[in-house]
């Protein structure tokens, strides 16, 4: 896949089933919403139209634990510097930050998956991507992990045509919806991975190659016994740091205050990032939502209900990994 070109898209954008309203009910049963469901405190998902970020999974009727689905995992071994001196147990791949459930895929989404995935999709291999070959040009690259239905990613890709964007999402309805949007807007600066983000980073992203990393509204996994599934942990931040150039920005956002405090505490423990805000407590450590993160209808809905949102912007310092 490393040599995929920016191929024009025409017929797929004209298909009747490709209209944006085709996803209006793509997840109406809430089976794929990263921040909804009985255990999720949030009521909206800034990056998803109920087609899912990191899913809450299914309950084991005996243990009440999460039963993991097929995440498309590959070999977790890697020579990436972000995993040096950690050992496999530091971020065990048997424990994932998501559970993959595809949910309902509309005709438009399936048509986009069939037609546009071969052009814009990144097949997982344990070999480093060459962004210049992947996009057919040299440009700074931004990674978004857990893009939901891709509306936000599509919007910022249109706003910032001088950047290349790689989105990572495991839920097929969301991937299909983003591919629909790519076809409609004829975007050539977006590529998509459907693989586990940790393994994708470790095995396919070159060291010091990312300009910015966006992780917006990841699953907070609120129950204490599920905290091990949270994406934001020290080994993962080390892996991110190794993939980011010095001066690159890590942008995190959450709508759940306990998870905001948790993320801030973890970020303060890592030596590789510095807060762009001068405060250390939660109230002063976050920043106002920047223009680079689009405001979605789910966030507006949360604002109307009095829910807060916490944005953090941390800069990669020059401490080597």
What the chain holds in terms of domains, given with CATH numbers, is 11-316 (3.40.50.150)
Res 43 pLDDT > 70? no
Taking residues 216-237, report their average pLDDT. 95
Tell me which residue has tokens 């989404």.
Answer: 109
Res 282 pLDDT > 70? yes
Cα separation, 230 vs 240, in Å, equals 15
pLDDT at site 304: 87
Rg (CA), the chain: 18
**∠ at Cα 211 (205, 213), nearest 5°?**
75
pLDDT tens column, 69-120: 333 333 344 455 655 444 433 444 455 555 566 679 999 999 999 999 999 9
Cα separation, 102 vs 109, in Å, equals 12
pLDDT at site 317: 98
pLDDT at site 300: 83
- Which one from 194, 219, 255, 291 is the annotated catalytic residue? 219
Cα separation, 188 vs 91, in Å, equals 34
Q: What average pLDDT does the chain have?
A: 78
Tell me which residue has tokens 């917006």.
Answer: 216
Q: Which of 11-15, 217-221, 231-235, 263-267 has the lowest mean pLDDT?
A: 11-15
pTM score: 0.74
Tell me which residue has tokens 């977790």.
Answer: 76
Cα separation, 176 vs 181, in Å, equals 9
Res 244 pLDDT > 90? yes
pLDDT tens column, 140-167: 999 999 999 999 999 999 999 999 999 9
CA 298 centroid distance within chain: 17
Cα separation, 182 vs 228, in Å, equals 35
219 as an active site residue: the answer is: yes
Residue 14's contacts (CB-CB under 8 Å, 6 or more residues apart) are: none
């Amino acid at each position: 896949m490393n040599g995929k070109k920016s191929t024009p898209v025409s017929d797929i954008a004209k298909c009747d089933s490709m209209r944006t309203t085709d996803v209006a009910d793509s997840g109406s049963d809430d089976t794929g919403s990263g921040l909804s469901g009985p255990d999720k405190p949030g009521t909206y998902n800034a990056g998803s139209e109920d087609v899912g970020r990191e899913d809450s999974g299914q309950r084991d009727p005996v243990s009440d634990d999460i039963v993991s689905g097929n995440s498309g995992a590959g070999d977790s071994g890697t020579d990436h510097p972000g995993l040096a001196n950690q050992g496999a147990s530091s971020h065990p791949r048997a424990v994932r930050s998501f559970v993959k459930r595809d949910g309902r895929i509309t005709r438009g989404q399936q048509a986009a998956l069939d037609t546009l995935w071969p052009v814009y999709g990144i097949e997982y291999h344990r070999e480093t991507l060459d962004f210049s070959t992947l996009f057919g040009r040299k440009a700074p690259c931004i990674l978004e992990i857990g893009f939901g239905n891709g509306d936000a990613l599509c919007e910022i890709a249109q706003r910032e045509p001088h950047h290349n964007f790689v989105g990572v999402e495991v839920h097929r309805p969301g991937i299909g919806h983003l591919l629909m949007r790519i076809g409609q807007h004829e975007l050539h600066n977006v590529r998509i991975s459907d693989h586990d983000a940790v393994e994708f980073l470790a095995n396919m992203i070159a060291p010091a190659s990312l300009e910015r990393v966006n992780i917006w509204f990841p699953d907070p996994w609120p129950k204490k016994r599920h905290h091990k599934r949270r994406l934001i942990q020290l080994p993962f931040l080390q892996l991110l740091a190794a993939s980011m150039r010095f001066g690159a920005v890590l942008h995190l956002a959450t709508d759940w205050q306990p998870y905001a405090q948790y993320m801030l505490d973890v970020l303060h423990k890592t030596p590789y990032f510095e807060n762009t805000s001068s405060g250390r407590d939660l109230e002063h450590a976050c920043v106002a939502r920047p223009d680079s993160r689009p405001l979605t209808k789910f966030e507006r809905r949360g604002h109307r209900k009095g829910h807060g949102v916490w944005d953090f912007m941390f800069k990669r310092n020059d401490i080597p990994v």
